[in-house]
Amino acid sequence: MSSLTQQLPALVVGLPFFSAMAVTLLTWRNRDAAFPVALIGLALCAAASLALSIHIATDGPVIYRMGGWEPPMGISFYVDGLNVLVLAIISFVALVNLSGTRPAVRLEYAGKDGSFYTLYLLCVTGHLGMVITSDVFNLYVLIEIAALSGYALLGWGSSRAPLSTLNYLFIGVIGASFYLLGVGFLYIQTGSLNMLDIAGIIQILGVTPTLTAAFGLIMSGILIKMAFFPAHGWLPNAYCHAGSPAVSLIAPMTTKVMVYVMVRMMLTVFSPKLVFDRGLLPDLMVLMASAAIVICGLMALSAKNLKRMLTYVLITEVGYMVGGAWLGNRAGMTGTVLHVVNDAAMTLTMFMAVGCLSYKFGKLDYKKLQGVFPKMPFTMSAFVLGAIAMIGVPPTCGFFSKWYLILGGLEAGHIEFVVALILSSLINVVLFFKVFEIGFFEPWPEGTDSHGHPHRPAIAMREAPASMVAPLVVSALALVGLGLMNSKLVAIIENALPASLY
């Protein structure tokens, strides 16, 4: 292994962090330096995560000890097939979103570009760190780094954004407190904070009341932070009132990374045997996930605003991933991890499209979408591709992860979960075709022309700037690319799943 390859885990997290520091320093003298520095930092980060993915796929898991120090004194990173794909998708999401939102940043954060890009890079650093760390306390620190920078970005929106973000902050603090308290119980019982050490100690100790309390508290905190129904109330307002560049960064990352953290805790720290042998809990979690999928889908139907509708769809997708993870079989877990990757790409596409629409029309009540197809054909083409992926139509990526989730549901005998997934796809069809109908067919024709044909008013094209539309189109095409690569992604994920998971 070359010396550069050995440093890839540190580079993935370090590049956006040091880019944030550089942006802060450089923008004191030259505000225009913020965007190129951030772009270069994230481009290098994405390249490092891609190289790390190739290395893990060929050579297996990597343990990286910061400065050569052994845990518990030193900080260590652990990279395997479960998290390397999440690292890659998060770094590419951040890069594509950054490159596609510069005009919107200039419009919505005028004169404060440096502060915006510093928070942006710190938020990315926090999320990447959460994915790669193998220390349960460092995970808490990184959750807070991601959350604090995220609060600042989301609170920097419309006049209602600060209040919505304050609500998010209160809920987020409760979730983080549950997690930290669980880590405390875990440390009392095991005397270690390293995930791999804790896993080994738990195998010897078996189930104890302290470990049960730790598991319950940690899971409660994670479920609150990921906005799992019914702890989702903070998310719609926080996302709807924030600026589009911030939402199109945070929406694809936060919920997906917290789902990954839940999976890591279940498989690596507490082990499948302890998690899935805990009485009625797995069945209850799948039942709650099924309810979340259906209820949040119905809430999306009642939304009158495109951004709010997509936010409820995002919460529905959280139900997909939580339900799949708690099915307790390989197909369900594979579907969950694959959906973490796919849903990050789908959510990025949809919220970047919303960003382009917001740039031209401001608020996105459905009435404002009349005639949007001829006005913004490239944006809406990308939106349609994203919608098809979210519905689950092959060969887009959304189909393949749903396929594994349905297989897992059938193998586990959880028919209610399978029915909820199919029903959710049908609800998505209604949701997105409603947008297509308004955007393509309205306003309705008025009168007839000289040949007796219905007369439709002429609509001029008013696309967002090319620098916003081009990355959006790339993101939309990637949904097909991820779908075509699904067998390779599944192979990486399945190699990382423990043998005890059938």
Lowest-pLDDT range of 106-110, 167-171, 361-365: 361-365
pLDDT of residue 207: 87
Domain boundaries, the chain: 279-445+461-501
pLDDT of residue 1: 56
Cα 76 from Cα 66, distance rounded (Å): 6
Q: What is the mean pLDDT of residues 334-353?
A: 97
Q: What is the mean pLDDT of residues 398-416?
A: 96
pLDDT of residue 234: 85
Helices 161-190, 234-241: axis angle to 10 degrees equals 130
Say what percent of the chain tops pLDDT 90. Answer: 79
Q: What is the mean pLDDT of residues 482-487?
A: 96
Cα 502 from Cα 433, distance rounded (Å): 39
pLDDT at 78 over 80: yes
pLDDT of residue 111: 82
pLDDT of residue 2: 67
Cα 65 from Cα 316, distance rounded (Å): 38
Instruction: Summarize pLDDT for 167-223 with one digit per residue, the tens.
Output: 999 999 999 999 999 999 999 999 999 999 999 999 998 889 999 999 999 999 999
**In which band, very low, low, confident or very high, does the pLDDT at 69 lie, cut at 50, 70 and 90?**
confident
**In which band, very low, low, confident or very high, does the pLDDT at 418 lie, cut at 50, 70 and 90?**
very high
Q: What is the mean pLDDT of residues 76-91?
A: 95
pLDDT of residue 75: 84
pLDDT at 286 over 60: yes
**In which band, very low, low, confident or very high, does the pLDDT at 154 lie, cut at 50, 70 and 90?**
very high
Instruction: Summarize pLDDT for 440-483 with one digit per residue, the tens.
Output: 887 776 777 777 777 777 778 889 999 999 999 999 999 999 99
Asked, as a colleague might, if the bond just before 230 is cis with ω within 30 of 0, I would say: yes
pLDDT at 498 over 60: yes
What 3-state DSSP class applies to 283? helix
pLDDT of residue 215: 95
Instruction: Summarize pLDDT for 26-38 with one digit per residue, the tens.
Output: 988 887 889 999 9
- Rounded to two decimals, the pTM is 0.95
Helices assigned H by DSSP within 327-376: 330-361, 372-375
**In which band, very low, low, confident or very high, does the pLDDT at 419 lie, cut at 50, 70 and 90?**
very high
CA distances from 148 to 27, 122, 261, 368 (A): 21, 9, 18, 34
Cα 303 from Cα 286, distance rounded (Å): 26
Q: Which amino acid is at 318?
A: V
Q: What is the mean pLDDT of residues 344-354?
A: 97
pLDDT of residue 180: 97
pLDDT of residue 500: 80
| C-alpha 112 chain-centroid distance | 26
- 296 near 304, Cβ under 8 Å? no
Cα 424 from Cα 107, distance rounded (Å): 36
